[in-house]
Structure 1
Amino acid sequence: MEIEENAALVVIDVQKGFDDEGFWGRRDNPAAEENIAALIDRWQETGRPVVFVRHDSAYPGSPLAAGTAGNEFKDFVEERRGKGAGRELLVTKTVNSAFYGEPSLDLWLTGEDVAQIVIVGIQTNMCNETTARMGGNLGYDVLFAIDAMHTFDLAGPFGWTATAEELTRATAVSLHGGRFARVVTTQDVLKATAA
């Protein structure tokens, strides 16, 4: 696997509001934050561009509502913002896809001549998957670092439910099998970007 010198790391919605277990329920992958931090560090060390995406929820009662403590980035992300040698962008959004945020992620990536993106963050099967699908449709080479993200158990129609692990597996199969993205691990990416 090759990681381009200007590949962008897209860090999606790593916000304090996702720590509200009473609202979201049970999550998977307790190592997600450690892996996200390792990838941000590597991107900053190597001067690659990093995009931080924040969800400003318009949903009443959301732990991610703009202006609340839950809307803020988790401390380990906030402490890293502005610390790298590479270009950095903050995108805010109110929907699932980071490509529908402000400022335009697509325009920024195009202006920076970025053709490859690595997606990490929260939630695997929601904003991360939606961004990956759109990125693939827009022609980006999308790498989806499956262990640098997490999601939550979810209830659907007809009384159906799925665990966070089942949703993660379904997302990985859909994205990789459908050729929207290449599903990889944090170690795959770190190895490919080692000096």
Structure 2
Amino acid sequence: MNRQVGQTKLRICDARDEGAALMIIDVQQAIDDTRYWGERNNPEMEARLADLLACWRGGNGNIVHVRHFSRTPRSPYRSGQPGADFKECVMPRQGERVVTKHVNSAFIGTDLEIWLRRHGVARLVVAGVATAHSVSTTVRHAACLDFAVSVVEDACATFAVEDRHGQRWPAEEVQRLNLALLDGEYAEIASTLEVVRHY
């Protein structure tokens, strides 16, 4: 069943819209650990994230940086390890919100929803990693909470997956499928250009 996302028809968010926020998910040094994750798609993600941040910092300034502190012993996202640090391209500035999560959804065990409601945010522009995991889970959760969501496809990335039958799914295929599953049902899919051209 194809549900409508939010109360009104989606449109690309405007960085000057006080009711919109940019949310960047899990862009930490851990994603560069290729021995742990394997193949990643979209090598241009970091550049597109920098474009989005520049736009939002010149707009309403509603920026949420989500970081993951894993409880899995060998994860490069473990707190206290270099992998838990933000990548330089998305380093938070003073006044920008930082949310720390321990599971895939940024809404579980955090005050994210409270903060968004308090600041009058009804629309989210989401980017980051991994499209198939924390991005997808957070977007679905946000839609169920009745936020309108745009996912910036060229500012997201994901990793190759091997299923239980031993079939390997390349990262780009995983990316396309997960965006297709979100599109229209939980979010609209946009490009960085479509977002920043409104500013």
**Residue 160 (str. 1) matches residue 172 (str. 2):** no
Using CA pairs below 8 Å that are at least 6 residues apart, which structure has the higher relative contact order?
A: 2
Aligned residues: 186
Q: Counterparts of 2:144 and 2:168 in 1: how far apart (Å)?
A: 29
1:180 pairs with one of 154, 167, 186? 186
> For 1:31-50, what aligned pairs fall within 5 Å after superposition?
31-50=44-63
Distance 1:75 1:136, change over 3 A: same
Per-residue deviation, 1:100: 1.2
SS of equivalent to 1:41: helix
**Residue 92 (str. 1) matches residue 100 (str. 2):** yes
Which residue in 2 is equivalent to 1:148? 155
More helix by share: 1
Q: Counterparts of 2:77 and 2:57 in 1: how far apart (Å)?
A: 26
> For 1:1-195, what aligned pairs fall within 5 Å after superposition?
1-4=11-14, 5-6=17-18, 7-78=20-91, 80-82=92-94, 88-102=96-110, 104-177=111-184, 179-192=185-198, 194=199
Distance 1:188 1:101, change over 3 A: farther
SS of equivalent to 1:95: coil
SS of equivalent to 1:9: strand
TM-score, structure 2 normalization: 0.89
Amino acid across the alignment from 2:100: T
> Over aligned residue pairs, what C-alpha RMSD do you find?
1.3
Per-residue deviation, 1:172: 1.1
Per-residue deviation, 1:75: 1.4
Q: Answer whether contact 1:141 1:181 (CA < 8 A) is retained.
A: yes
Q: Counterparts of 2:168 and 2:39 in 1: how far apart (Å)?
A: 13
Q: Counterparts of 2:136 and 2:114 in 1: how far apart (Å)?
A: 20
Q: Counterparts of 1:187 and 1:68 in 2: how far apart (Å)?
A: 34
Distance 1:75 1:101, change over 3 A: farther
Per-residue deviation, 1:88: 2.4
Per-residue deviation, 1:157: 1.8
Amino acid across the alignment from 1:81: R
Q: Deviating runs (4+, > 4 A) in structure 1?
A: none
Identity of aligned residues (%): 37
Q: Counterparts of 1:147 and 1:153 in 2: how far apart (Å)?
A: 17
Deviation track 1:52-72 (CA, whole Å, cap 9, x = no partner) reads 011001101111100111100
Amino acid across the alignment from 2:162: A
Amino acid across the alignment from 1:184: A
Amino acid across the alignment from 2:97: L
Q: Answer whether contact 1:91 1:101 (CA < 8 A) is retained.
A: no
Q: Counterparts of 1:173 and 1:183 in 2: how far apart (Å)?
A: 9
